[in-house]
């Protein structure tokens, strides 16, 4: 009998259109579920996927021919999502980092643009912004038995 691999990684590129986000979410959440994560954990990761991909499309300012890239690393008890777009907008990155940072004021969290990131921050163990190549948000969630409560 075949056993699933210990680690699974998938990378998806999609055009900067919100219509693709549900398909990306379904594909990655199905892979998470097939790895044996609970329905509750998988649903929470679906929210993270939706928010990060939607934000990349809305704020990424993609040009024709540019894509959002989603990389999902699914391990025994960990899921890491890397959502990237090739553009860099200093104002958007400052707002994004302020929304993620505990040191930031609550004005970014209260605005409609920052609400989704605040939800992602609550659902994940770690959220990091990398601007070395465009803009990438890395979300990490480690499964624990408390996730089932």
Higher pLDDT, 47 or 101: 47
Domains in the chain: ranges and CATH = 8-148 (3.30.565.10)
| Of the candidates 139, 148, 130, 133, the residue with the CA atom closest to the CA atom of residue 50 | 139
Q: What is the mean pLDDT of residues 25-46?
A: 95
The phi, psi pair for 140, rounded to 5°, reads -125, 135
Q: How far apart (Å, rounded) are the C-alpha atoms in residues 117 and 23?
A: 21
Does 109 score more than 60 pLDDT?
no
**Band of pLDDT at residue 4, cut at 50, 70 and 90:** low
State the pTM of this model: 0.86
**Band of pLDDT at residue 112, cut at 50, 70 and 90:** low
**Band of pLDDT at residue 5, cut at 50, 70 and 90:** low
């Amino acid at each position: 009998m075949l056993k699933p691999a210990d680690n699974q990684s998938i990378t998806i590129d999609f055009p900067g259109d919100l219509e693709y986000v549900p398909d990306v979410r379904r594909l990655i959440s199905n892979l998470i579920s097939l790895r044996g994560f609970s329905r509750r954990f998988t649903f929470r990761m679906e929210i993270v996927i939706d928010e990060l991909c939607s934000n990349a499309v809305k704020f990424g300012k993609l040009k024709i021919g540019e894509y959002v890239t989603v990389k999902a690393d699914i391990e025994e008890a960990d899921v890491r999502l890397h959502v990237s777009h090739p553009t860099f907008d200093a104002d958007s990155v400052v707002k994004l980092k302020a929304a993620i940072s505990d040191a930031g004021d609550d004005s970014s969290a209260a605005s409609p643009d920052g609400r989704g990131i605040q939800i992602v921050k609550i659902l994940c163990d770690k959220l990091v912004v990398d601007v070395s190549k465009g803009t990438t948000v890395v979300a990490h969630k480690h499964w624990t038995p408390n996730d089932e409560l």
